[in-house]
Amino acid sequence: MKVNHLTIAILIVLGSSLLSFGQTFNPSKMKDLLYGVAYYHENMPYERLETDVKLMKECGINVVRIAESSWGNMEPNDGQFDFEWLDKVIDSIEKANIKIIVGTPTYSIPTWLAKEHPEIIWGGYGMRQNMDLSSSVYRFYSERVIRKLIAHVCKNPAVIGYQIDNETKYLGTTGDSLQIKFVDVMKKKFGTTDALNKAWGLAYWGQKINSWDDFPKRDGATSPSYKLEWDRFTRNTVTEFLTWQAKIVNEYKRPDQFITLNFDGQTVNGTPGPNTLNNTFDIAKVLDITGFDIYHGSQNALDGTAISLFGDWARSSKQTNYLILETNIQTQSWSSEWQIPPFDGQVRLCAYSHFANGANMVGYWHWHSNHYGQETYWKGLLGHDLQPNRVFNEVKQISGELKQIGNHLVDLQTNNKVAILYSCDSYAAINYMPFDSKEGYQTVLKQYHDALFKLNIGCDFILPETENWAKYKLIVIPPLYISSDELLIKIRDYVANGGKVLMAFKSGFCNENNGVRPVMMPGILREACGFYYQEFASINQLGLKSSAIRIDTIKSFAKKWVEMIIPEKAQTLVSYNDPFYGKYAAITQNQYGKGTICYQGSMLSDEMQLKLFKTILSESGLFNPNEVAVFPVVVKSGRNNLNRQIHYFLNYSGTEKTTKYGFEDGQNLLSEKPISKGSLISLKPWDLAIVEENK
């Protein structure tokens, strides 16, 4: 190859860039923990940029997230771009040696776009995230602003990554654009209307579709099969939209920069759980690192369960470390109701709770409390007076500790032996025909996860398509209402090969098209489960009895749903204390091949569910009640990048607690004192200890 002066100059520039920017980003090879805030200088009531940056530096903030809600500022008029205000913010933050994450602004469109193209939004202008993500018009304007923004900031060394969109999910539209694409997808999947009619059972009520042109709209649909396919389609639309965004940003980003998204959870009837309006694991494939927004209770409502649930979900999405891009620091509400500030120590406890789960960043939403708009009472690190305060000082304490021990906590790796099998299809299908108006799939899933959390058992989430189930000793399955034959066979084979399963009621009832299987339940799993049932019933509450598990007859009961199980080979662990239902098994266990499957035919009280988990985990060699802390003290463990075991002891209570340290001799990183196996750890209210083993 002939090398000229221009080539040499380019090589020098590229070499310099690589030396400056480092190697390709790796989510499990981060040098430092990120500790930061979201910052919106454009929302401030008066000019105070330098003051804010100075205060950030004072309290130890090392990363700031900006710009994701500022399309109207970047493009005040159609095709007219203004980045001068953004440059001012970036320059000031960069001078303070604070890192920056830039967000694409596509989740909140400007007023001029709503006026020019009202067809791309639903419900009227004023709310965010009410666009048709499939609209070619919306995509055109989104792509233009994304390219302008990323090209403008990508070379700045302070910019370490990009957040695409914001808490993206299916936004609720059923417009013509989406409907046309849905019908096209159904054509490709089923081929003919006859095949679709058979799969969906549309002869019922005479709703057969005899021409693709006659395909009814989603509004008003009653067919559970139609609803399930629509929900799958809309989740896939979100995946396609974010894949499209990531592809654009990838054209500009440096190798050392990352692409992330701040996923959020979903609360159903007061119960938090994974968001059913997107495909987190599929979307994570186009991200360099998963981001998540975790909001949780404060004061006496803080128990660590939401932090652990969503942290496990985020970590499992790519089986590696993740970022907390938003979490609450003061009060949170879209009104002035429920203003519940954290107790002293809770901000610190929560920050370390995130790190204990594998987070490599904790970012607060947000730096300042808004003086205008919908989220006026969703307070930030600074209150409305914009002055240092109680939580400011707590953040300063946390950042000071992280400077000393952060390199021992970054890139924490877990090796969990328990997994929860998650099925978004089952959540959706149960929701169409709920077994209870307030409790459903999400309630059971959280109940399972809470039990594992309170027993100090780390867990991952897996999906039906996840490979390598064999790495887990126990797979926990919330109501698997929707499942293909292949999935049921996969579960059966996992048990036959030595795995242990805890499976909930309603599992295996419907096929992948949401049609009830015309067989005696539990169908394909009948031999593995060792029982059958033909009837089920709605109940309020039933007492339980058992010779295998010690039961508190007041706190241990079945509720909501009963499958009238008749054991064939299975052992009855628990039965109903009732003159009619007493002849049926409530919980069974059956040896199948080298493994066992435990099945519960009813929803259980929290007390009974916890007892069942203790029994199963003890049998699996995963739990020893004599060696673990007792909730509200929770232990989280992992291996750090120094190849040493790290153990977090977290006290989620307002009273002092003492617990035994049952691991190898080590060093308490926060107190800098040695600790030996078998000694006691004292934890003040809302306090923690972090021990690094010596070996």
* pLDDT tens-digit series, residues 448-486: 999 999 999 999 999 999 999 999 999 999 999 999 999
Q: Take residue 114 and report the two structure tokens written for it.
A: 């709503």
Q: What b/e string do you get for 314-335 counting C-beta neighbours within 10 Å, with b at 16 or more?
A: bbbbbbbbbbbbbbbbbbbeee
Span 32-170+257-409 CATH architecture: Alpha-Beta Barrel (3.20)
Q: For residues 521 and 530, is the Cβ–Cβ distance under 8 A? A: no
pLDDT for residue 8 is more than 80: no
What is the model's pLDDT at position 75?
Answer: 98
Residues 350, 356, 360, 361: what is their CA dihedral angle, to the nearest 10 degrees?
Answer: 0
Measured distance CA(535)–CA(333) in Å, rounded: 45
Confidence of residue 412 (pLDDT cuts 50, 70, 90): very high
Instruction: Name the strand (E) or helix (H) holding 396.
Output: helix 390-409
* Mean pLDDT in residue range 431-444: 96
675-691 pLDDT, tens per residue?
Answer: 999 999 999 999 999 99
Beta partners for 531?
567
What is the model's pLDDT at position 626?
Answer: 63
Q: For residues 315 and 358, is the Cβ–Cβ distance under 8 A? A: yes
* Mean pLDDT in residue range 323-332: 96
Q: Which CATH class is domain 418-619?
A: alpha beta
Instruction: Name the strand (E) or helix (H) holding 645.
Output: strand 645-651
Cα 20 off chain centre by: 34
Burial of residue 387 (CB within 10 Å: 0-12, 13-18, 19+) is exposed
Residues 6 or more apart from 670 whose CB is under 8 A from it? 401, 405, 688, 689, 690
* Domain residue spans of the chain: 32-170+257-409, 418-619, 633-693
- DSSP state for residue 395 in the 8-state scheme: H
User: Which amino acid, residue 180?
Assistant: I
* Mean pLDDT in residue range 281-297: 98
CA 591-595-596 angle, to 5 degrees, is 50
What is the model's pLDDT at position 293?
Answer: 98
Q: Which residue has the higher pLDDT, 21 or 145?
A: 145
Confidence of residue 159 (pLDDT cuts 50, 70, 90): very high
Q: Which residue has the higher pLDDT, 620 or 13?
A: 620
* First-to-last C-alpha distance (Å) of the chain: 53
Render 86-123 in DSSP notation, one character per residue.
Answer: HHHHHHHHHHTT-EEEEEP-TTS--HHHHHH-GGGBSS
Measured distance CA(394)–CA(348) in Å, rounded: 7
CATH number of this structure's domain 633-693: 2.60.40.1180
Quote the percentage of the chain above a pLDDT of 70: 96
Measured distance CA(187)–CA(196) in Å, rounded: 9
Q: Take residue 480 and report the two structure tokens written for it.
A: 């698997």
129-158 pLDDT, tens per residue?
Answer: 889 999 999 999 999 999 999 999 999 999
What is the model's pLDDT at position 20?
Answer: 38
Nearest to 259 by CA among 143, 159, 149, 366: 159
Measured distance CA(365)–CA(293) in Å, rounded: 9
User: Which amino acid, residue 525?
Assistant: L
What is the model's pLDDT at position 624?
Answer: 74
What is the model's pLDDT at position 437?
Answer: 94
Query: Percent helix, strand and coil across the chain, each rounded to 5?
Result: 35, 25, 40
Measured distance CA(196)–CA(189) in Å, rounded: 9
What is the model's pLDDT at position 175?
Answer: 82
What is the model's pLDDT at position 10?
Answer: 35
Q: Take residue 363 and report the two structure tokens written for it.
A: 């970012």
Instruction: Name the strand (E) or helix (H) holding 462.
Output: strand 459-462
Q: For residues 318 and 26, is the Cβ–Cβ distance under 8 A? A: no
User: Which amino acid, residue 4?
Assistant: N
pLDDT for residue 366 is more than 60: yes
Quote the percentage of the chain above a pLDDT of 90: 90
pLDDT for residue 2 is more than 70: no
Nearest to 38 by CA among 376, 375, 392, 368: 368
Whole-number average pLDDT of the chain: 94
Confidence of residue 171 (pLDDT cuts 50, 70, 90): confident
548-588 pLDDT, tens per residue?
Answer: 999 988 899 999 999 999 999 999 999 999 999 999 999 99
Nearest to 55 by CA among 100, 94, 88, 96: 96
* Mean pLDDT in residue range 285-305: 97
What is the model's pLDDT at position 21?
Answer: 43
92-131 pLDDT, tens per residue?
Answer: 999 999 999 999 999 999 999 999 999 999 888 888 888 9
Cα 6 off chain centre by: 49
Confidence of residue 14 (pLDDT cuts 50, 70, 90): very low
